Structures are given as C-alpha cells and as structure tokens.
Amino acid sequence: MDPQISEFRKILDESSNIVFFGGAGVSTESGIPDFRSSNGLYSMKLSRTVSPEEMVSHTFYMMHPEEFFEFYRGNLIYPDAKPNACHYALAELEKEGKLKAVITQNIDGLHQTAGSKMVHELHGSVLRNYCEKCNTFYGLSKIIESKDVPICDKCGGRIKPDVVLYEEALDPDVVSAAIRAIELADTLIIGGTTLIVYPAAGLIRYFRGKKLVLINKTKTSADGEADLVIRGSIGEVFEQTMSIK
C-alpha cells in the first residue's frame, strides 16, 4: 500500500474537525476544463486581443453583454457534469461528522450534488442567477435557454449569474464563514489548486490546526508548509484513501 495514502488515512482517522479547500482541479476530474482557454473568437469580434480573464470581468460584462454570455455559456457552464470520487468522499466525511466545511473556488455546485451540506462558495455558483432590477431568482436553465442576454420575465431587467467576476469583490459573509471554518479546523486539506488565485488563496493563512495536507498534480506555494504532500489525481487519492478501513 502507498505509504502516503496510509498516512492520509491515519490523519483522517485522528481528525475531528476537517476543512477542505479546493480549486479547479477538483472539477476538471468531472470533465470541466479550466476556463483559461480562448479560441480567439472574441478577439476577432472585438478586433483586439481579449484574454479569458478579461471576458469574465465586470467591465466586459457591462460593455459587451452579448459576447460575455456567449463565452460564459460555452466555457463556464457544464450542466451534464457529475461529481467525482473527491466530491463523494468529502460528502461521506461530512456525514461521518469529521468534515465540517468545504471551501471551494469552483462555481459548478458539484459538492452539493454529491451530498455536501456545508459548502462555502467563494466565487458563487452558476446554479443561481438574479435579475439586476427586481432580484427575481432564476435557475441555470434560464441562462442556457436564453439565446442572447437573458432577460427577466417579470420586469425585463438583465439576469446576472451569481458568480464573482474579475474586478468584483468576494461576498464578505462567505469569506467570514470560510475564515471561521479554517480557524477552527484541526486538519486542513488543500486540493486541486495551485494557490495562485487571490484573495481566495490567502485564506489558508488563517489555519492554526495540527495537520496540513496538500493534494495536487503540480507544486504549490504551500508545499513547504504541509505535513503531507501527495502528487496525483485528487479523485484517485480520495478513492484509495476512503477504501481503507
């Protein structure tokens, strides 16, 4: 048996307040690619170079709503994606009373689909959408079924996804809850993230617990601080670990 997997299992068994902090790598294993891949379509439309980050910025959303929603539907929405072994393992740990919170940078809602209840979504969710005028709620289907800019059925206002765009601030209530969870944790598991997206990545500095576990395919800035670093697929790591009794 892999000694790192055995060590991870031991840490889980000895922990009573686990918090998981996850990034895009958790979702890529469910077939959701990192959005930072542009096919040049929008650059051609606007006659200038436009990065994917710019296309999901508040400024781009306000100035080019049609192009924003075209890019958004094609690159950030994956309605057929299913939870993977990592999502289900975390839900199981929560059910066992060990895991107290999931803090995610992802916007796909797969943690909740897998059964997790205490999820702090730092960057919002594609599953929630609101009219900018009357605040009427709409699900994902409204965005998918709209051909251009989605319009509210009640007042005609524009419907905005409840996701944090570049240039927008994180929800202070969500941030506070995430910080509190990290402060109380005896074990913090960081998975599927290179820890380069701020301010989200900065939240791990609030951890004062016993064990820091880092699971990622590549190096991160926190490797040197971790008690256990596992290189590999986060889904496979959790699947192997949870199979140990």
pLDDT digits (tens, 9 = 90+) for 14-65: 999 999 999 999 999 999 987 654 444 445 555 567 788 888 999 999 999 9
Residue 51 is classified by DSSP as -
Kindly state the average pLDDT of the residues 190-211. 89
Catalytic residue among 64, 87, 120, 123: 123
Residue 233 is classified by DSSP as -
Q: What is the CA radius of gyration of the chain?
A: 19
List, as one string, the DSSP characters of 65-96: HHHHHHHHHHHT--TT----HHHHHHHHHHHT
Residue 42 is predicted with a pLDDT of 46
Is it the case that residue 175 has pLDDT exceeding 60?
A: yes
**Domain at 3-33+83-123+168-242, CATH homologous superfamily:** TPP-binding domain (3.40.50.1220)
- Reported as a pLDDT band with limits 50, 70 and 90, residue 151 is very high
User: Lowest-confidence range among 67-76, 85-94, 102-111, 177-186?
Assistant: 67-76
* Residues carrying CATH 3.40.50.1220, the chain: 3-33+83-123+168-242
Residue 123 among the catalytic residues: yes
Residue 34 is predicted with a pLDDT of 73
- Reported as a pLDDT band with limits 50, 70 and 90, residue 245 is low
- Reported as a pLDDT band with limits 50, 70 and 90, residue 201 is confident
